[in-house]
Amino acid sequence: MKKLKTALIQLHKISGSFISLLFLMWFLTGFVLIFAGFPHASRQERFEHLRPFNPSDVENIQAFPKHKGKVELEKYYDRPVYRLYSGRRGQSVYDARTLKKIESFSQDEAKAISESYRKHPVTKIERLETLDSWIPWSYYKPLLPFYKCYIDDEAHTVLYVSSSSGAIIQETNRKSRWMARIGAIPHWIYFKQLKSNDELWKTIIVILGIIGLLACLSGFWVAFYRVKKDANNEIIKLTIYKKWDYKWHHLLGWFLVLFLSTFTLSGVFYTTDIPAWISAKPEGRSYLSKWNKAHAANNTISPSAFWKQLPIKSGLRKIAPSSSMNKQVINAYYDDYQNPQSFLVINRDSIVPFSFTENELISYAQTVFKQHTFELSLQTTYDDYYRQSGMFNHPLPVYKIQVNDAYNTQLFIDSNTGKALTYIDNNKKTRRWLTKALHKFDFPFLVNHDWLRKLLLIIVLLPCTFMCITSVVLSWRWLKRQIKRTNRKKKIKHEDHI
């Protein structure tokens, strides 16, 4: 028992000394993250910057090119272009009138689109051949090189334009950059050299998380050995310490170890898969890809014929051929980049507004879930798992399909377009509670009262931060003692040698 006690104390001292500064940094930056995250360019603003089509734009446009991925027709200034998407961020751009690939966009074009976007002049442009601190994600590499355009406005805006796509891919300003420097970047360890190597970044997060958990759990058990007991071995005080740093580190450790552990564990789960012994992960993306599989287009309508058939032409910013429930459709985007008007292609010259019945939905579902039964229901409100999202389109109402499979899969179908929007299974449910709920207090009631969620986070972060300060102080003292002890031993050894 004595050896176990000594081992736990040493484990807590070593792991705590190593991780104390990181814990302090994580909690201090956590205050910032409550109010401001990593900067990004607004998808809606970029979409609204697209110029609407006019009748002359669709004349002499070539037919939609055949491509396994997503295809979109839009205007790049006065030139209609096709964007063919592949992978997470990769895309190729073609002139819609000649179908000739546009190999790259010039610096002058980047300057023009930046000045048009923010209505202020560009003062300087840098050409970046590698990822930047504000675009550290490796999946942006296909869009390199970037033009970094400095805007002469009060916000000190910087826009990043891809030379391969000609599109704005990132926007920062002085405020968002400083908030990220003291918040998101250190908290998420979003350093360019590290984040561009995703596997290395994940590995470091996991290692730091394990050390943090060892410090928390060993500290909790050490706390039991540091209580004050009487002659009958009964606890009379929670701590034996009188010095403020030892005393408050010990007392706060009793009550905050749960939050410290869950914050650490949930932070690790943000970057890695949930272990199979907690929740098995099904292969692939469940039935989402099967539902949204591409339709083999037999009656491809030309863009000009589609334009003529459109009931509303004013304000059309984007045209995207697609498929829904194994039917060929074309989506027309007007004011919202997430919610198009869908049209069913009847033949090469005619379209009708796309719609479907519940019976048609059930019939198509039977072809997707061949080996499983399912239940269909119309969902009109958000719940714990299907919720509003800034990045993804989660409209209401939606059809929810509950599949009776081993993973308890649920598929959510847009009631207007028939597209599968997202899916939920046991693994995603577990991840939702082990990450967002534990790390951000993202519980249903608190989400609906965001001011209360933020207040509770601040109330918890304050004592956690104070405890981390005591950890840094104690770690520094312990390290100084170790250094003195080592120097003393060296001195004694040297004297003995003499």
CB 410 within 8 A of CB 423: yes
Single-letter code of the amino acid located at 289: S
Q: Is the pLDDT of residue 363 over 50?
A: yes
d(CA 109, CA 170): 16
Beta-carbon count within 10 A of 424 CB: 21
Mean pLDDT for 299-323 is 89
Mean pLDDT for 267-278 is 82
Q: What is the pLDDT of residue 284?
A: 46
Between 218 and 379, the more confident residue is 379
Mean pLDDT for 160-181 is 95
Least confident of 30-44, 127-141, 232-246, 463-477: 232-246
Percentage of the chain beyond pLDDT 90 is 47
Mean pLDDT for 331-343 is 92
Between 154 and 284, the more confident residue is 154
Q: Examine residue 397 and say whether the peptide bond preceding it is cis (omega within 30 degrees of 0).
A: yes
d(CA 339, CA 44): 11
Mean pLDDT for 113-139 is 93
Mean pLDDT for 20-46 is 93
CB 412 within 8 A of CB 337: no
Side-chain half-sphere exposure of 156, counting CA atoms within 13 A:
6
Encode pLDDT of 397-417 as tens digits. 999 999 998 888 999 999 999
pLDDT confidence tier of residue 283, bands split at 50, 70 and 90 = low
Whole-prediction pTM: 0.87
Encode pLDDT of 444-490 as tens digits. 888 888 999 999 999 999 999 998 999 898 888 888 888 888 777 77
Q: What is the pLDDT of residue 106?
A: 94
CB 63 within 8 A of CB 96: no
Single-letter code of the amino acid located at 235: I
Q: What is the pLDDT of residue 247?
A: 82
Highest mean pLDDT, choosing among 145-149, 190-194, 220-224: 145-149
Mean pLDDT for 8-32 is 89
d(CA 497, CA 206): 45
Mean pLDDT for 350-366 is 93
The angle at the Cα of 55, spanning 54 to 58, to the nearest 5 degrees, equals: 95
Q: Is the pLDDT of residue 296 over 60?
A: no
Radius of gyration of the chain (CA): 29
Mean pLDDT for 145-157 is 96
Between 54 and 251, the more confident residue is 54
Mean pLDDT for 365-370 is 90
Q: Is the pLDDT of residue 237 over 80?
A: no
Percentage of the chain beyond pLDDT 70 is 94
